[in-house]
Amino acid sequence: MRRFFLVATAVCFCAAAASAQTKVSGTAQCAKPGPVHVIPVGDRPDHSLAVEQFKCTWTKPMEIEGDKSKDGVSTETGDITGNTSKARGFHVVTMESGDKAFFWYQVREQAKTAHR
């Protein structure tokens, strides 16, 4: 669900970048992250930093001036304390033409287990 939200957010940013008058939407399915690196900070037992990457495929491509999204990659860093995680990342969308679109995002989540 989190990946869907991130990609949906990226689509909204893309819509604003494409044109103030043009609406853009699409749906992407993202795989589990890999690689994932989680390193304990050492200042307290439940504090870690993470780097992870997700590969995504557009199941319902977004379209900008006739060019459709094909796939994408999200790369993010996270600050995890207990069951709370704050992440900042970048999503790169590859269009069918080979052009690329770039987005950044920030996410804060609370889960039963913040370590992914």
This prediction's pTM: 0.71
**Pair 47, 63: CB distance under 8 Å:** no
pLDDT one-digit tens code per residue, 15-32: 455 545 678 888 989 999
| Tokens read off for 47 | 């504090």
User: Pick from 33, 94, 90: which is nearest to 62 by CA?
Assistant: 94
Distance CA 56, CA 47 (A): 28
**Pair 64, 14: CB distance under 8 Å:** yes
Distance CA 63, CA 27 (A): 11
pLDDT one-digit tens code per residue, 29-82: 999 999 999 999 999 999 999 999 999 999 999 998 899 999 999 999 999 999
| Tokens read off for 79 | 């600050």
